[in-house]
């Protein structure tokens, strides 16, 4: 039996990594990106949370959420998002990975990895470094050379708000600021 433990901090801010099954690149499809956006919005209507940062890559996403005071139910939220996305995706004959009979008995489909990775953000510095990590991720993975060139990110919202300069994360950006983050679990 697994000894996996979640960090539940009421009203906390959390960094998440959510990955598709077998890293299938389903988010290359515009319909998949649209369905994920719809599932996120529907979830926020049912269970409010602040979506602080998000980046969507071909086969995974990173997000930072802040939950309402006293609330710890991020697992229920991710479960809802994954379920609603999966229903919409499969309804339009979206691709899924093969499933075992035991997996089907558990009502699991071959769209998402079973679990997700979360990290409770401890303080402002931890929050800021993960916030930057989310937005720098498309460059890290080689999708683009400049953060501003990746369209599926909240980076553009924060440029408009003056949080980031348009050219942030390019050129001689010092990635050593991420060296002590546990990125093996994030990717």
**Cβ-contact 65, 49 below 8 angstroms:** yes
Confidence of residue 65 (pLDDT cuts 50, 70, 90): very high
> What is residue 114's predicted lDDT score, i.e. its pLDDT?
82
Whole-number mean pLDDT of the chain? 88
- 106 has a pLDDT exceeding 60: no
Verify whether residue 74 is a known catalytic residue: no
Confidence of residue 111 (pLDDT cuts 50, 70, 90): confident
> What is residue 170's predicted lDDT score, i.e. its pLDDT?
80
Confidence of residue 1 (pLDDT cuts 50, 70, 90): very low
The C-alpha atoms of residue 173 and residue 76 are separated, in whole angstroms, by: 37
The C-alpha atoms of residue 98 and residue 180 are separated, in whole angstroms, by: 36
Secondary structure (3-state) at 187: coil
| Encoded tokens for 19 | 């990955």
Work out the average pLDDT over 35-63: 97
Which has more pLDDT, 27 or 106?
Answer: 27
The architecture in CATH of the region 13-123 reads: 2-Layer Sandwich (3.30)
Q: What are the structural domain ranges in the chain?
A: 13-123
- 104 has a pLDDT exceeding 60: no
Please state the separation of Cα 50 from the chain's center in Å: 13
The C-alpha atoms of residue 119 and residue 130 are separated, in whole angstroms, by: 10
The per-residue pLDDT for range 126-165, each reduced to its tens digit, is 999 999 999 999 999 999 999 999 999 999 999 999 999 9
> What is residue 173's predicted lDDT score, i.e. its pLDDT?
83
> What is residue 175's predicted lDDT score, i.e. its pLDDT?
82
Give the list of residues 6+ apart from residue 95 with CB closer than 8 angstroms, or none: 24, 26
| Contacts of 94-101 spanning 24+ positions with Cβ under 8 A | 94/26, 94/29, 94/31, 94/32, 95/24, 95/26, 96/21, 96/24, 97/21, 97/22, 97/24
* Percent of the residues in the chain that have a pLDDT greater than 90, as a whole number: 70
> What is residue 107's predicted lDDT score, i.e. its pLDDT?
57
Query: Among 28-42, 91-105, 172-186, which stretch is predicted with the lowest mean pLDDT?
Result: 91-105
pTM: 0.88
DSSP state of 67: P
Which of 143, 152, 158, 164 is labelled catalytic?
152
Percentages of the chain per state (helix, strand, coil), in multiples of 5: 45, 15, 40
- 121 has a pLDDT exceeding 70: yes
């Amino acid at each position: 039996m697994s000894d996996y433990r979640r960090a539940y901090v009421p009203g906390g801010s959390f960094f998440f990594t959510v990955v598709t099954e077998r890293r299938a690149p389903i988010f290359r499809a515009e319909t998949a990106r649209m369905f994920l956006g719809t599932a996120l919005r529907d979830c926020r209507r049912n269970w409010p949370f602040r979506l602080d940062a998000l980046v969507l890559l071909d086969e995974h996403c990173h997000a930072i959420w802040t939950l309402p005071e006293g609330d710890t139910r991020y697992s229920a939220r991710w479960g809802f998002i994954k379920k609603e996305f999966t229903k919409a995706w499969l309804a339009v004959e979206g691709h899924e990975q093969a499933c075992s009979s035991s997996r089907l008995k558990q009502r699991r489909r071959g769209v998402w990895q079973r679990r997700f990775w979360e990290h409770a953000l401890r303080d402002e510095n931890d929050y800021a470094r993960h916030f930057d990590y989310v937005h720098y991720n498309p460059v890290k993975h080689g999708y683009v050379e400049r953060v501003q060139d990746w369209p599926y990110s909240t980076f553009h919202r924060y440029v408009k708000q003056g949080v980031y300069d348009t050219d942030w994360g390019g050129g001689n950006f010092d990635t050593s600021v991420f060296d002590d983050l546990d990125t093996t679990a994030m990717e």
